[in-house]
C-alpha cells in the first residue's frame, strides 16, 4: 500500500479505497514522517482494522459524480485507458516472491548450518595458523574444514530441492486462465480482460461469473453472490441496489472482487480494483505479516546454544589447561579451535533434514503437503487448532438435513458419500442455481425419482420467482393426469407459507388448520432453526377445474387463487459436517489439543455445526444454554460454569486483549462467529500470546491472514483459494480435516524420533572428543583422528540415526498432551546428560581400552605412552623406543597409531550398536518395543559392513589411513 | 506460601535466573499446566542445588534482620527445610539432586572399576618380555649419529663451532661402546653366527660386545674430532632394534651409501668400519629390553674421506640383505637413510 507515495495524484480511487477518509490526512502525515520500516508496520496495523468505505451509502447520482462516469454509457474507452495507466491493472499484487538464490542461501546459512559454517571457518583459521607458523603440518584441519563446508552445501542443496519440489506442486494449483468481464464503455458492451477493468467502469455480471472488482450495484435482477471465500457464509447472499446496512460487508448493494455470482444478473460501478479491493486488502494483509520461527526451529536454536555452550566450555577449559601444562599459545589456540570444532556434530544436520524429509513424504502420502520442512513437526506441538467452518469442517454443500411432515421430524442422510454421490449425479445433469434449490433437487433425485421425468409429466405453466419481499416461490404445473387440471406449488419462508394455508396434510389427508397444528409447526420450526438449518415451508393447492389446460396464468396481475393452500411440511437444509470431522475433533481433544471454531458464518449455524462435530461436546453448555435451562437471564449465569462459549464478531470487536485472553483461558470449547479476517488474526494472536502453538485451518481468502500468522497454517487443496494456499504452510490435498490428526501424529512422532536420533548422534561425540582431550593432557598418541571421526559421523552413524525416524510410537502419542514448548525441549539437559555423561562415557572408556590393547600388543604399554606425544610426533626421531626396547621409525609408529585409530573407530561402531538399541526406546523397554523397525536392522548391518569395508579394503591405508585389524 | 514469599522478595533479588524460575512457575500454573512429569522436572535439575541453597541462606538472613518472633521463625525455617528437601511445586528436591549426584558418582566409580579390571586383564594377558604382534615393525629402520634434529650436516671445517656439537654428540653416543665397558658387561661371542640363547623367556640374556675400537678411524680414539676437523666426517649408522629380528644366515645386513641424486662421483670414497660394512650376525636376535639389558646395537661407521666440498651432497645409505626392505615410498627411514653433507672449507 503506497498511500504516501500516491499522494500527489488525487483520484477518486485513491480517496475511497483507502481507510476512513477523515483519518487519512493525519495518517498520511505521520506515515510520511516515519522511516520506511516503521511505515510498513503501520500499514499492517492499518490493514488489521476493519474495512471502511462509504460508496454503499451514496445515491446513484452521487456515485455518478464521484466517479465522473455516466451510469448508462460508462467510461469512454480513452478515459478508461487513462485510468488504467494511472491505477494499474486490476490484479492482486502477488506476494513478493523471494528470489530463488535467496531461498537457497537461506537454506545454507540458517540455524544449524550456521554452526557448521562457523566450525568450518574455525578449521580453516586453525589450518592457516598452522601453515603460517610451521612448515610441515598435518592437513587434518583443512580436510575437516572442507568436509564441513561440503556437508552443509549438500544438505542445503538437498533441503532446497525438497522445498522447491513442494512449491512446484503449489504452483500447479494456480489457476492461470484469464477471466473476462463484460463492461460498458462509451455505451457499448464489450468483453475485456479482468485485469483491464478500471475504477468507474460499468460492469455487468451474470450467474456463474466471478465478480471482476468491488462493485456498487446500480441494478440487479435476482442476483445472488457466494461470499463464502470472503466472509465464510455458506449461503448465497442476494444482492440489490438498495443500501441496507451500515457495514459495507453486510450491505446488499456491494459485490466483492473474486466472489462468485451464482444467480441472476446485476450491473454495477467499479469502486475499487486490484489491491484496493476488500479482497486485495486481505491478501496484502496476509502477505505483509511476518511469521515467527517454527517450534522445531526454536528447538534447534536451543540445541545449538547448548552444544555451543558445551563446546566453548570444554574448549576454554582445555585452553587454560594446556597453557598450564606448558603448551605454547599457538598450540593452545589450535587445541581450542580443535575442541570447539570436535563438538560440532557433523552428521546431525543431514540426519535432521533427512528425518524431516522422510516425515514430509510420509505426510504427503497421507495427503498433507508440507511447504516448509520445519513445519512438519509444528503440527505435533500444536496445542490449539483454530478451524474455519465452511469447507473445512463442513462439506460446503447445502444438503437437506431434516424433513418435517406428518407431525414428525425425519432425518435425511447427510453423510459425505451420499452427498458426493448425488453431487456427481447432479453434475451429470448440469444444474445451476441456488445452493438450497440444488440441495432440494439432489434430495428428490436421490430419495424419490428423477426430477426430469416429473418435469416432463408436469410441465410448468407459470412461475413467480423468489424475491426478498415475497419470500416465497410459486409455480403452477399441469397435473399428471391432465383431467385434474393444474396444481399450484409454493415454497418459501415457513412463516410466510403458513400464512397462505388454511389446511394441512396429515398422512395423505387434508385437515383444517388448527392451533395445535400451528404450535406443532412453531415447535418444529424453532427446533430445526435451532439446529442452524435453513428451513423452507412447502404447500400446494389443486386449482379447481375453472382453470383448464391452457389457461393463461398471469403472474404479474394474479388471476388465480393464492389462499387456503394446503400446508405439507418443512424441509431444512444445512451445510453438513464432513463425516471424518467429529472423530478427528475428538482425537484432537484426547490429544490435548483445543479446537476452536472461527467462522464468518452466523452464530446459530456455527454453534449447530460445532455441536455436530464435537467442538462443543455433548453435555457442555454455553452461558445462554444455562440461562435457558435455569430460566435466568444470561447476565446472572456464572461465566465460569459455562465451559463453552459462542462469541459474536460484534462482541469481539469491542473486546480488548485482556477480555479475549479471559475467554480463551476460561473456556475449553469456543466458537467465534461472524468474524472478519482481521478478527481471525486477532484470535490467533491472542492464542499465541497465551503460549499456545496455533494451527489454523481455512480455505477462504478471509482466512489467509490468520493462516499466515499461525504457527502452522493449513489450507485446503481442493476448495482452497490461491491466496490461502500461498499463506499456508501445509495443504490438505484431500480437504479432509482428519488428515490434520495424521499430521499431529506424524509431527509428534518425528519429535520423539528426532530426540532419539539426536541422542544417538550426540553420544558418539564424547568418544570423539575425549581422545583429543587426553592427547592434550596425557600426551598420548592421538587415539582418534579427524578422518575416523568423519567416518563415524558421516558414515557409520548416519543410517542408524536416520533409521530411528522410522521408529514406531512407543505409546499412544495421541493420548498425550501437546508438549510445552517452554519446558519440553527437543534437546534438554537430561538428554545431554545421558548422551554425554553416561553412554558417551562408557563408549569412550570402551574405545580407550581398545586403543590401549592395540598399543600394548604392538609394543607400547599404556604407562609408557603417557607424555610420549612430543617424541611420537617428531618426524626426525626415527628410533623411538617402545616398552620392549624395539625402535620405531616415524612412519612405523604412525601406522600403529592409525591402526589404533581404526580400532577405536571399530569399537565405537560396536558400542553404537548398543547405543542404537538404547536410543530406540525412551520409556518402553526394548522388549516391549521389539525389533520391528527393518530400517534399523538395516542400519545396524550397514554400519557394521561399512566399518569392515573401511578397515579391511586394500588401499584404505593410503586413502583414509585406516588399517586392517587382527 | 512459597509463591507469597517469592513475590515479596522478588524485587530485592533481581537476578535473571530467579525471574526465569518464576516464569516457569507461572507457566506451570496456568496455561498448559498439565504437561508430563518428566518435563517439569527436567529444567530445574541443573540449577536446583545451588539455587536452593542460596535461597535458604537469604531466607535466614532476612529473618534475622526482620527479627520475627522466634516461634514463627522456627516454623518458617522448618517449612523451608521441608521445601528444601521436597518442593511439591516443582516436584524436585535436594534429595533427588543428591540422588542424581550419587548415581553419577556410583556410575563413574563402577566405570572406573571396570576399566581398571580390563586393564589388569590386559597386563595379565600380554607377555612382559615378548611382543604380542610384530607385524607392524618387521624391517628395521635406520638412524644415523650424530643426530641434531636434522639430517643436514652443514659445517665449515675451519670453524670448529659449526661442527663441535657433532663431535660432542658422537662422543656421548659412543660412551656406551667404550672397550672397557663392553669387556666388563658383555661377552665376546663368536662372529658369523646367531647368538641364540635358549632358556626361559624371562631369563636374563647375555649381550655381545661391540667395542668402540671396531670403528677404527671413526671411533674417535685416534681422531677425537671424528674427521670433522679435516672435512672427512664420520657418520655412524645404526639399525633400529627389532625384537626377534634375524638377518639371513650367512648373509649379514650390509650398508651401502651412494649419492642419492646427482653426480655419483661427488662422494668419491667411503670407508666403512667395520670394513665388512655389515652388522654381524652375532648381534641377533634381540630379546627385548627386559631380559636383554646390556644389548648393544651394532654400528657401521661411514667415513666420507673425499666428499666434494662447498656443495650439498645428498647421500642415501641403504641396508642390503635378504628380507630387508629399503624402498618404502612413504617411509624414508625403513632400511635406508638420506642425509646431506655440505662441507665448507
In tens, the pLDDT along B45-78 reads 333 344 444 444 444 444 444 444 556 777 877 7
Taking the CB of residue A151, how many other CB atoms lie within 10 A of it?
Answer: 22
Q: Is the pLDDT of residue A592 over 60?
A: yes
Say if the Cβ atoms of B126 and A856 lie within 8 Å.
yes
Chain B residues near residue A665 by CB distance under 8 angstroms: 30-31
Picking from B46, B141, B288, the nearest residue to A888 by CB comes out as: B141
Span B213-219, average pLDDT? 87
Quick: pLDDT tens for A92-150.
777 667 778 888 888 888 777 888 898 899 899 888 888 888 766 778 888 888 988 99
Rounded to an integer, what distance in angstroms lies between the CA atom of residue A38 and that of residue A562?
66
Q: Cα angle at B228 between B225 and B233, to 5 degrees?
A: 115
Terminal CA-CA length for chain A: 74
Q: How far is B76 from chain A (nearest CA, A)?
A: 30
Span A537-546, average pLDDT? 82
- Do the Cβ atoms of B254 and B276 come closer than 8 Å? yes
Residue of A nearest to B285 (CA): A886
Mean pLDDT (chain A, rounded): 82
Q: Which of residues 314-343 of B touch A (CB under 8 A)?
A: 328, 330-334, 337
ipTM above 0.85, yes or no: no
Note whether A852 contacts B: Cβ–Cβ < 8 A: yes
Q: Is the pLDDT of residue A408 over 60?
A: yes
Q: Is the pLDDT of residue B11 over 50?
A: no
> Going along chain B, which residue ranges are E strands?
142-145, 152-156, 234-239, 253-259, 270-273, 278-279, 299-304, 312-320, 336-344
Span A185-212, average pLDDT? 85
Substitution target in B22, B24, B32, B125 with the highest count of A β-carbons within 10 Å is B32
Please report the pLDDT score of residue B37 as a whole number: 38
Say if the Cβ atoms of B42 and A824 lie within 8 Å.
yes
**Which of A65-69, A242-246, A302-306, B67-71 is the least confident region?**
B67-71
- Do the Cβ atoms of A155 and A113 come closer than 8 Å? yes
Say if the Cβ atoms of B142 and A878 lie within 8 Å.
yes
- Do the Cβ atoms of A223 and A261 come closer than 8 Å? yes
Q: Is the pLDDT of residue A481 over 70?
A: no
**Which of A142-146, A405-409, A757-761, A788-792 is the least confident region?**
A405-409
Say if the Cβ atoms of B238 and A879 lie within 8 Å.
yes
Chain A residues near residue B115 by CB distance under 8 angstroms: 845, 848-849
Query: What DSSP letter does each residue of A290-343 carry, written as one string?
Result: PP---HHHHHHHHHHHHHHHHHHHHHHHHHHHHHHTT--HHHHHHHHHHHHHHT
| Residue whose C-alpha is closest to residue A857's, from B258, B140, B131, B82 | B131
Please report the pLDDT score of residue A488 as a whole number: 85
Rounded to an integer, what distance in angstroms lies between the CA atom of residue A421 and that of residue A437?
17
Higher pLDDT, A422 or A32: A422
Please report the pLDDT score of residue A234 as a whole number: 65
Note whether A780 contacts B: Cβ–Cβ < 8 A: no
Please report the pLDDT score of residue A912 as a whole number: 94
**Which of A67-71, A895-899, B94-98 is the least confident region?**
B94-98
Please report which confidence band the pLDDT of residue A273 belongs to, taking 50, 70 and 90 as the band edges.
Answer: confident
Higher pLDDT, A545 or A157: A157
Q: How far is CA B18 from CA B10, B12, B31, B49, B92, in A?
A: 8, 11, 20, 13, 16
Which of A583-587, A957-961, B137-141 tops mean pLDDT?
A: A583-587
Say if the Cβ atoms of B242 and A887 lie within 8 Å.
yes
Please report the pLDDT score of residue B41 as a whole number: 39
- The burial class, CB within 10 Å (0-12 / 13-18 / 19+), for A169 is middle
Picking from B108, B143, B241, the nearest residue to A885 by CB comes out as: B241
Q: Is the pLDDT of residue B19 over 70?
A: no
Note whether A829 contacts B: Cβ–Cβ < 8 A: yes
Higher pLDDT, A597 or B203: A597
Q: How far is A245 from chain B (nearest CA, A)?
A: 40
Chain B residues near residue A820 by CB distance under 8 angstroms: 27, 32, 35, 39
Please report which confidence band the pLDDT of residue A48 belongs to, taking 50, 70 and 90 as the band edges.
Answer: low
Q: How far is A856 from chain B (nearest CA, A)?
A: 8
Higher pLDDT, A151 or A640: A151
Chain A residues near residue B30 by CB distance under 8 angstroms: 665
Please report which confidence band the pLDDT of residue A840 belongs to, taking 50, 70 and 90 as the band edges.
Answer: very high
Say if the Cβ atoms of A888 and B137 lie within 8 Å.
yes
Higher pLDDT, A370 or A702: A370
Rounded to an integer, what distance in angstroms lies between the CA atom of residue B60 and that of residue A263?
81
Say if the Cβ atoms of B30 and A665 lie within 8 Å.
yes
Q: Which of residues 65-84 of A touch B (CB under 8 A)?
A: none
Please report which confidence band the pLDDT of residue A181 belongs to, taking 50, 70 and 90 as the band edges.
Answer: confident
Note whether B136 contacts A: Cβ–Cβ < 8 A: yes
Q: Is the pLDDT of residue A427 over 70?
A: no
Please report which confidence band the pLDDT of residue A546 belongs to, taking 50, 70 and 90 as the band edges.
Answer: confident
Cell of B30: 496456568
Q: Cα angle at A58 between A53 and A64, to 5 degrees?
A: 110
Q: Is the pLDDT of residue A19 over 60?
A: no
Say if the Cβ atoms of B27 and A820 lie within 8 Å.
yes
Higher pLDDT, B83 or A698: A698
Q: How far is B203 from chain A (nearest CA, A)?
A: 15
Please report the pLDDT score of residue A20 as a whole number: 37
Please report which confidence band the pLDDT of residue A85 belongs to, taking 50, 70 and 90 as the band edges.
Answer: confident
- Do the Cβ atoms of B170 and A907 come closer than 8 Å? no
Please report the pLDDT score of residue A413 as a whole number: 67
Say if the Cβ atoms of B43 and A823 lie within 8 Å.
yes
- Do the Cβ atoms of A924 and A808 come closer than 8 Å? no
Q: Is the pLDDT of residue A176 over 70?
A: no
Q: Which helix (H) or strand (E) holds A401?
A: strand A399-405
Quick: pLDDT tens for B244-284.
888 887 788 889 998 988 888 888 888 898 888 888 888 88
Q: Which residues contact B114 (CB under 8 A, 6 or more apart)?
A: A845
Say if the Cβ atoms of B131 and A889 lie within 8 Å.
no
Say if the Cβ atoms of B240 and A890 lie within 8 Å.
no
Say if the Cβ atoms of B292 and A885 lie within 8 Å.
yes
Please report which confidence band the pLDDT of residue B22 belongs to, taking 50, 70 and 90 as the band edges.
Answer: very low
Q: How far is B240 from chain A (nearest CA, A)?
A: 5
Quick: pLDDT tens for A381-390.
899 999 888 7
- Do the Cβ atoms of A754 and A355 come closer than 8 Å? yes
- The burial class, CB within 10 Å (0-12 / 13-18 / 19+), for A713 is buried
Please report the pLDDT score of residue A905 as a whole number: 94
Please report the pLDDT score of residue A915 as a whole number: 94
Substitution target in B46, B106, B173, B333 with the highest count of A β-carbons within 10 Å is B333
Rounded to an integer, what distance in angstroms lies between the CA atom of residue A88 and that of residue A84?
5
* Residue recorded with cell 534475622: B64
**CA dihedral angle for residue A425, residue A426, residue A427, residue A433, rounded to 10 degrees:** 180
| Residue whose C-alpha is closest to residue A348's, from A122, A108, A112, A106 | A112
Please report the pLDDT score of residue B87 as a whole number: 61
Residue of A nearest to B23 (CA): A822
Q: Which residues contact B131 (CB under 8 A, 6 or more apart)?
A: A857, A858, A859, A884, A886, B243, B244, B288
Chain centre distance of CA A628: 38
Residue of A nearest to B106 (CA): A838
Rounded to an integer, what distance in angstroms lies between the CA atom of residue A595 and that of residue A687?
11
Phi first, then psi: give them for residue A834, nearest 5 degrees: -70, -45
Chain A residues near residue B338 by CB distance under 8 angstroms: none
Residue of B nearest to A896 (CA): B136
Q: How far is A692 from chain B (nearest CA, A)?
A: 8
Q: Is the pLDDT of residue A349 over 80?
A: yes
| Residue whose C-alpha is closest to residue A56's, from A177, A216, A274, A290 | A216
Residue of A nearest to B131 (CA): A859
Of all residues in chain A, what percent carry a pLDDT higher than 90? Answer: 16
Taking the CB of residue A468, how many other CB atoms lie within 10 A of it?
Answer: 12
Say if the Cβ atoms of A823 and B46 lie within 8 Å.
no
Cell of A330: 599457538
Span A746-771, average pLDDT? 92
* Residue recorded with cell 599457538: A330
Please report the pLDDT score of residue A9 as a whole number: 37
Picking from B27, B36, B42, the nearest residue to A828 by CB comes out as: B42
Catalytic residue of the set A55, A140, A209, A388:
A388
Please report the pLDDT score of residue B4 as a whole number: 41
Phi first, then psi: give them for residue B310, nearest 5 degrees: 55, 40
- Do the Cβ atoms of A711 and A295 come closer than 8 Å? yes
Exposure class string for B221-233: b at 16+ Cβ within 10 A, else e: eebebbbbbebbb
Span A535-545, average pLDDT? 84
Residue of B nearest to A848 (CA): B115
Please report the pLDDT score of residue A838 as a whole number: 92
* Residue recorded with cell 649419529: B145
Substitution target in A833, A886, A897 with the highest count of B β-carbons within 10 Å is A886
Please report which confidence band the pLDDT of residue A907 belongs to, taking 50, 70 and 90 as the band edges.
Answer: very high
Please report the pLDDT score of residue B77 as a whole number: 77
Q: How far is A887 from chain B (nearest CA, A)?
A: 5
Q: How far is B324 from chain A (nearest CA, A)?
A: 15
Rounded to an integer, what distance in angstroms lies between the CA atom of residue A922 and that of residue A836?
16
Say if the Cβ atoms of A829 and B45 lie within 8 Å.
yes
- DSSP code for A817: P
Q: How far is B336 from chain A (nearest CA, A)?
A: 11
Q: Which of residues 677-706 of A touch B (CB under 8 A)?
A: 690-692
Catalytic, A196? Answer: no
Q: Is the pLDDT of residue A839 over 90?
A: yes
| Residue whose C-alpha is closest to residue A588's, from A744, A369, A359 | A744
Q: Is the pLDDT of residue B132 over 80?
A: no
Please report the pLDDT score of residue A632 as a whole number: 81
Span A741-752, average pLDDT? 90
Rounded to an integer, what distance in angstroms lies between the CA atom of residue A694 and that of residue A878?
68
Amino acid at each position: 500500500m503506497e498511500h504516501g507515495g500516491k499522494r500527489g495524484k488525487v483520484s477518486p480511487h485513491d480517496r475511497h479505497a483507502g481507510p476512513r477518509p477523515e483519518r487519512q490526512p493525519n495518517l498520511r502525515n505521520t506515515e510520511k514522517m516515519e522511516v520506511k520500516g516503521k511505515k510498513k508496520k503501520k500499514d499492517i496495523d492499518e490493514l488489521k482494522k476493519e474495512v471502511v468505505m462509504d460508496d454503499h451509502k451514496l445515491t446513484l447520482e452521487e456515485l455518478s459524480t464521484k466517479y465522473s462516469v455516466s451510469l448508462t454509457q460508462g467510461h469512454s474507452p480513452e478515459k478508461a485507458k487513462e485510468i488504467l495507466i494511472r491505477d494499474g491493472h486490476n490484479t492482486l499484487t502477488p506476494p513478493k516472491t523471494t528470489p530463488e538464490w535467496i531461498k537457497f542461501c537461506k537454506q545454507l546459512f540458517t540455524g544449524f548450518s550456521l554452526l557448521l559454517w562457523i566450525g568450518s571457518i574455525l578449521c580453516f583459521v586453525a589450518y592457516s595458523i598452522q601453515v603460517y607458523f610451521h612448515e610441515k603440518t598435518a592437513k587434518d584441519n583443512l580436510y575437516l574444514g572442507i568436509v564441513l563446508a561440503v556437508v552443509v552445501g549438500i544438505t542445503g542443496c538437498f533441503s532446497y530441492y525438497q522445498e522447491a519440489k513442494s512449491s512446484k506442486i503449489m504452483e500447479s494449483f494456480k489457476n492461470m486462465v484469464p477471466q473476462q468481464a463484460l463492461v460498458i464503455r462509451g455505451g457499448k458492451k464489450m468483453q475485456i480482460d479482468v485485469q483491464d477493468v478500471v475504477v468507474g467502469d460499468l460492469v455487468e455480471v451474470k450467474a456463474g461469473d466471478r465478480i471482476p472488482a468491488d462493485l456498487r450495484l446500480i441494478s440487479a435482477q435476482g442476483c445472488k453472490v457466494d461470499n463464502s471465500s470472503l466472509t465464510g457464509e455458506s449461503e448465497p447472499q442476494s444482492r440489490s441496489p438498495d443500501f441496507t446496512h451500515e457495514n459495507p460487508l453486510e450491505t446488499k448493494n456491494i459485490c466483492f472482487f473474486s466472489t462468485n455470482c451464482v444467480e441472476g444478473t446485476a450491473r454495477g460501478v467499479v469502486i475499487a480494483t486490484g489491491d484496493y479491493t476488500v479482497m486485495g486488502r486481505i491478501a496484502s494483509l496476509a502477505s505483509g505479516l511476518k511469521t515467527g520461527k517454527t517450534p522445531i526451529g526454536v528447538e534447534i536454536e536451543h540445541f545449538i546454544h547448548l552444544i555451543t555452550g558445551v563446546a566453548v566450555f570444554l574448549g576454554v577449559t582445555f585452553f587454560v589447561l594446556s597453557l598450564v601444562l606448558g603448551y605454547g599459545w599457538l598450540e593452545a589456540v589450535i587445541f581450542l579451535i580443535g575442541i570447539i570444532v570436535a563438538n560440532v556434530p557433523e552428521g546431525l544436520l543431514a540426519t535432521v533434514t533427512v528425518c524431516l524429509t522422510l516425515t514430509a513424504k510420509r505426510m504427503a502420502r497421507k495427503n498433507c503437503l508440507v511447504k516448509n520442512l520445519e513445519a512438519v513437526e509444528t503440527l505435533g506441538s500444536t496445542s490449539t487448532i483454530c478451524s474455519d467452518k465452511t469447507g473445512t469442517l463442513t462439506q460446503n454443500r447445502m444438503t437437506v438435513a431434516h424433513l418435517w411432515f406428518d407431525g414428525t421430524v425425519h432425518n435425511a442422510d447427510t453423510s459425505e458419500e451420499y452427498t458426493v454421490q448425488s453431487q456427481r449425479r447432479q453434475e451429470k445433469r448440469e444444474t445451476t442455481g441456488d445452493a438450497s434449490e440444488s440441495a432440494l433437487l439432489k434430495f428428490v433425485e436421490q430419495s424419490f425419482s428423477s426430477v426430469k421425468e416429473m418435469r416432463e409429466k408436469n410441465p410448468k405453466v407459470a412461475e413467480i420467482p423468489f424475491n426478498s419481499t415475497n419470500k416465497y416461490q410459486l409455480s403452477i404445473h399441469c397435473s399428471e393426469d391432465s383431467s385434474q387440471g393444474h396444481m399450484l406449488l409454493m415454497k418459501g419462508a415457513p412463516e410466510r407459507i403458513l400464512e397462505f394455508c388454511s389446511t394441512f396434510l396429515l398422512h395423505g389427508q387434508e385437515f383444517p388448520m388448527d392451533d395445535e397444528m400451528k404450535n406443532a409447526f412453531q415447535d418444529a420450526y424453532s427446533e430445526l432453526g435451532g439446529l442452524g438449518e435453513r428451513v423452507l415451508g412447502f404447500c400446494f393447492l389443486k386449482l379447481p377445474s375453472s382453470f383448464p389446460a391452457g389457461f393463461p396464468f398471469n403472474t404479474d396481475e394474479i388471476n388465480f387463487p393464492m389462499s387456503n393452500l394446503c400446508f405439507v411440511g418443512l424441509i431444512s437444509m444445512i451445510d453438513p459436517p464432513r463425516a471424518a470431522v467429529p472423530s478427528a475433533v475428538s482425537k484432537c481433544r484426547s490429544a490435548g489439543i483445543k479446537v476452536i471454531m472461527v467462522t464468518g458464518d452466523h452464530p446459530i449455524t456455527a454453534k449447530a455445526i460445532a455441536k455436530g462435530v464435537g467442538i462443543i461436546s455433548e453435555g457442555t453448555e454455553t452461558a445462554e444454554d444455562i440461562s435457558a435451562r435455569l430460566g435466568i437471564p444470561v447476565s446472572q449465569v456464572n461465566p465460569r460454569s459455562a465451559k463453552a462459549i459462542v462469541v459474536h464478531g460484534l462482541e469481539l470487536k469491542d473486546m480488548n486483549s485482556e477480555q479475549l485472553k479471559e475467554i480463551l483461558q476460561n473456556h475449553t470449547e469456543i466458537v467465534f462467529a461472524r468474524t472478519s479476517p482481521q478478527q481471525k488474526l486477532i484470535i490467533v494472536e491472542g492464542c499465541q500470546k497465551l503460549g499456545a502453538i496455533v494451527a489454523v485451518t481455512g480455505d477462504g481468502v478471509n482466512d489467509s491472514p490468520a493462516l499466515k500468522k499461525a504457527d502452522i497454517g493449513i489450507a485446503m487443496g481442493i476448495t482452497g483459494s490461491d491466496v490461502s494456499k500461498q499463506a499456508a504452510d501445509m495443504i490438505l490435498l484431500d480437504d479432509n480435516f482428519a488428515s490434520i490428526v495424521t499430521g499431529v501424529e506424524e509431527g509428534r512422532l518425528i519429535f520423539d524420533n528426532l530426540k532419539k536420533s539426536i541422542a544417538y548422534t550426540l553420544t558418539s561425540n564424547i568418544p570423539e572428543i575425549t581422545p583429543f582431550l587426553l592427547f592434550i593432557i596425557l600426551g598420548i598418541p592421538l587415539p582418534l583422528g579427524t578422518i575416523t571421526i568423519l567416518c563415524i559421523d558421516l558414515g557409520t552413524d548416519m543410517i542408524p540415526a536416520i533409521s530411528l525416524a522410522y521408529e514406531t510410537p512407543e505409546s499412544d502419542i495421541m493420548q498425550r498432551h501437546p508438549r510445552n514448548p517452554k519446558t519440553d525441549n527437543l534437546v534438554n539437559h537430561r538428554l545431554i546428560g545421558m548422551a554425554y555423561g553416561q553412554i558417551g562415557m562408557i563408549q569412550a572408556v570402551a574405545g580407550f581400552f581398545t586403543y590401549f590393547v592395540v598399543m600394548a600388543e604392538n609394543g607400547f604399554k599404556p604407562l609408557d605412552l603417557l607424555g610420549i606425544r612430543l617424541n611420537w610426533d617428531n618426524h626426525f626421531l626415527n628410533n623411538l623406543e617402545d616398552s620392549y626396547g624395539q625402535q620405531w621409525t616415524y612412519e612405523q609408529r604412525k601406522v600403529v597409531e592409525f591402526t589404533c585409530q581404526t580400532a577405536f573407530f571399530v569399537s565405537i561402531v560396536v558400542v553404537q550398536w548398543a547405543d542404537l538399541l538404547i536410543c530406540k526406546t525412551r520409556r518402553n523397554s526394548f522388549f516391549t518395543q521389539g525389533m520391528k523397525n527393518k530400517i534399523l536392522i538395516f542400519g545396524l548391518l550397514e554400519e557394521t559392513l561399512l566399518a569392515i569395508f573401511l578397515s579391511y579394503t586394500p588401499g584404505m591405508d593410503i586413502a583414509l589411513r585406516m588399517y586392517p585389524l587382527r | 506460601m512459597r509463591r507469597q514469599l517469592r513475590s515479596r522478595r522478588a524485587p530485592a533479588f533481581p537476578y535473571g535466573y530467579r525471574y526465569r524460575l518464576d516464569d516457569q512457575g507461572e507457566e506451570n500454573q496456568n496455561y498448559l499446566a498439565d504437561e508430563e512429569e518428566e518435563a517439569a522436572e527436567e529444567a530445574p535439575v541443573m540449577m536446583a542445588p545451588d539455587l536452593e541453597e542460596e535461597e535458604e541462606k537469604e531466607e535466614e538472613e532476612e529473618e534475622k534482620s526482620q527479627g520475627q518472633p522466634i516461634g514463627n521463625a522456627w516454623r518458617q525455617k522448618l517449612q523451608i527445610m521441608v521445601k528444601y528437601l521436597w518442593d511439591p511445586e516443582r516436584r524436585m528436591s535436594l534429595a533427588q539432586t543428591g540422588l542424581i549426584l550419587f548415581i553419577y558418582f556410583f556410575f563413574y566409580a563402577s566405570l572406573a572399576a571396570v576399566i581398571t579390571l580390563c586393564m589388569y586383564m590386559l597386563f595379565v594377558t600380554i607377555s612382559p618380555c615378548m611382543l604380542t604382534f610384530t607385524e607392524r615393525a618387521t624391517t628395521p629402520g635406520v638412524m644415523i649419529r650424530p643426530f641434531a634434529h636434522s639430517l643436514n650436516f652443514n659445517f665449515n671445517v675451519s670453524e670448529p663451532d659449526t661442527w663441535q656439537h657433532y663431535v660432542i654428540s658422537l662422543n656421548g653416543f659412543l660412551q656406551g661402546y667404550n672397550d672397557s665397558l663392553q669387556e666388563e658387561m658383555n661377552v665376546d661371542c663368536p662372529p658369523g653366527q646367531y647368538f641364540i640363547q635358549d632358556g626361559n623367556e624371562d631369563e636374563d640374556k647375555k649381550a655381545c660386545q661391540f667395542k668402540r675400537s671396531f670403528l677404527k678411524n671413526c671411533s674417535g680414539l685416534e681422531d677425537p674430532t671424528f674427521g670433522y676437523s679435516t672435512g672427512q666426517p664420520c657418520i655412524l649408522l645404526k639399525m633400529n632394534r627389532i625384537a626377534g629380528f634375524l638377518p639371513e644366515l650367512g648373509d649379514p645386513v650390509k650398508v651401502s651409501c651412494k649419492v642419492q641424486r646427482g653426480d655419483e662421483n661427488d662422494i668419491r670414497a667411503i670407508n666403512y668400519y667395520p670394513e665388512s660394512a655389515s652388522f654381524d650376525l652375532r648381534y641377533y636376535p634381540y630379546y627385548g629390553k627386559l631380559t636383554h639389558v646390556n644389548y648393544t646395537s651394532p654400528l657401521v661407521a661411514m667415513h666420507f674421506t673425499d666428499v666434494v666440498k662447498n656443495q650439498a651432497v645428498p647421500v642415501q645409505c641403504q641396508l642390503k640383505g635378504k628380507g630387508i626392505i629399503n624402498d618404502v615410498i612413504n617411509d624414508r627411514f625403513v632400511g635406508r637413510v638420506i642425509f646431506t653433507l655440505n662441507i665448507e672449507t
